[in-house]
Structure 1
Amino acid sequence: MRCLWITRQDPRPADSGELIYTLGLLRSLAAQPGIELTVLAHKAAKPTEGGPELRWELHGTIPSGRLKSLPAKLPGDAYRLGNPLQREVLARLLPETWDWIIIDQAACAWALDLLGPEQKVMYLAHNHEASVRKQVAGDRGGSLPMRMALKWDSWKYGRMEGALARRANLISAITPRDADAFALDAPGVPIFVLKPGYGGEIPQGPPRPITAETPRQVVLAGAFEWLAKRRNLEAFLQAAAEPFQAAKIGFQVVGKADPAWFTALARQYPWASFQANVPSVTPFLDQARIGLIPEALGGGFKLKALDYIFRGLPLASVEAALSGVPVDPRSEAIAAPDPESLAEAVAAKIDDLAFLNHAAGKALENCRSAFHWEDRGVTLARALENPQALRP
């Protein structure tokens, strides 16, 4: 089976959630018998060697200049990704025989107008972008021109993704909630859930105990490059300022970010600690009692949840962000509907060691065998071989 996989950029190095997901699926699918993969993408800004042995078509780097997309029919991401060089290479590749064209993320739907009706298309979704972009655009942060531009871009994203879903012969969703949304967008199109795997060490024994000697600290690890991620952090910092300081709770934010932005946040919130672009988040996870998922804005599967769980941390999360994570939000995590109530719930539970250890143990037990990349390759290959078997 020959597949042409169209994605944003070379996922090596996989230093963000979207790249981890793409590279994990590429590796696991390429390992399946009879699969031949060609990947069309931009070059990575800082490429690394290694990864699956397949055919890489890497051309140019992602252009800047979202403002140029305002008068275009495509949203900003798709406009930049579907630049003349990428279109030229895709036009060269399409005459080859392909069993599937895989559109990895909605932003790569720029390719649709080059595809013929005879070509089978899979939409490999990382989010239900129409919902996520509308949610982000509805947030009141930023200037009026910025909010207007986001709403315009959101409308274009919704229109583009809807066209992609209806054109697709197969859709994968990263969470059950996203799968339900796509079923409304594209009735009759086969849809299946394709959660991420986990590439780190999965402990076979119980998690390390959380004791009175464990620092009374909450950690938030992640990549903070997308606007929604930054707004989520800023919203939680505002919500947690009073309850965390009153309870003398440490708050450590660590991950991929603009150091200048972290420095500005540290001045505004001196009670919290910020570490940008560290070699590893593991030492920070090992010095905390709780792993935080504050994403009130944005969808998708929260890969940081697996980092927390497999390092023995219980989750504290906005309820909507737990979609696809096999934990009971009532008894196996600290869950709340919004950042304000989540901050209060964390303050109330930070010293409940029995609960924290129970939640960490149950989460590890539930997830230990559920997130193997090898299984994802098998699932994806079977779906491509027989998408009709997925119909309800």
Structure 2
Amino acid sequence: MRSSEKPPTPGAKLRVFPREGPSFSNPQYAERYKELHRAVFWLLLIAVLANTAPITILPGCPYRIYRLVHLSWMILWYGLFVLGSYWEFVLITTQRVSLDRYLNATESAIYVVHIFSIMLLTWQCRNWAPKVMRNIVRSDIDRAYNIDSNRTKRFIRLHMFLVGIFTCLAIFFNIWTQKCLVYRSILSINSYVMPNIISSISFIQYYLLLQGIAWRQRKLTESLERELFHLHSPRISEVQKIRKHHADLIDFTKVGIENPSMADLAKWLSMLLWLALHVGKVCCILYFNQTIQDEHFRCLTALSRVSCTRNDLQDAITHYIIQMRTNVRQHLVCGVINLDLKFLTSLLVASADFFIFLLQYDVTYEALSKSVQGNVTRNQS
């Protein structure tokens, strides 16, 4: 740690890289900044076109006119997407059977809200995203970390390749299920395939951020191992410096992936909608399977109560009962989950047990952390 730095105030939250950083007049900073942008340029460009990253993250696009152009593109694209989703609902979804109609309509509505939340986050990050890039470059210079452009590009190409495979397969099966009708295929791709492509592109940025931090942490660990195991007398100042860099990276992980404060409502609403969608699907499947089983049992009960003297009628009823008992649809998933409403109770019990386990683990971990922190504080004092 530099001697000119002031010690942090007790209880104050650590801030990562509070300085605005060196200007582009610094040759080393400018070169590192260009190197990082060259490594991730195509991902950033695709993300900007897909409205999952603000245009200000691209080099040479900090001006207001570029923001207005990108905002206009976002509004136009989202308007066309919503219009296509509406016509898909009118022309295709309403023609399906009742269960498929409800589930598909709900899924399409969720995608509309989800894409809106992604674009809202993108627009709100227009001033914050460039600072992330500058902070990454500044931290790399402080740690003497050299960016491996080839490794970064390979990582991006791999994930873009996987997204491309998903896109091709999804479009192929979508056209196939729509009987190769052009307008139905286009509307279905717009409503169901495109939102998943956009969310996948947004996740690639998230994956790259986390993987990049993991690469940098690995370098710190290697430096720590060299200091502790390959030197006769490890230097305390270097260990403290590595410790500070490691703490900054951990804190930077939170700073890099946290949503802006105004986006919390959209994030939680989107999560609740997704949860409602999937829980609704489970409940609908269980409900309709339960209805079939109830009707099946009701029919068997009615047949069992019949008593008659006619042999031909009795034979017909006997065959009917045998048919109902032997030709039964198996309401089981993999022979394990019984598809009736009783499964909801088992599901809730299992979820409650898992939640209690996580809560107990969190409480225990928090207690141990405070205990260890207290011991470290006492040892330092």
Judge same fold: TM > 0.5, yes or no.
Answer: no
TM-score range relative to shorter protein: under 0.3
TM-score by length of 2: 0.26
Q: Could you say which structure has the greater relative contact order, defined with CA pairs below 8 angstroms and 6 or more residues apart? A: 2
Kindly indicate which of the two structures has a greater share of residues assigned to helix. 2
Kindly indicate which of the two structures has a greater share of residues assigned to strand. 1
Structure with greater Cα Rg: 2
TM-score by length of 1: 0.25
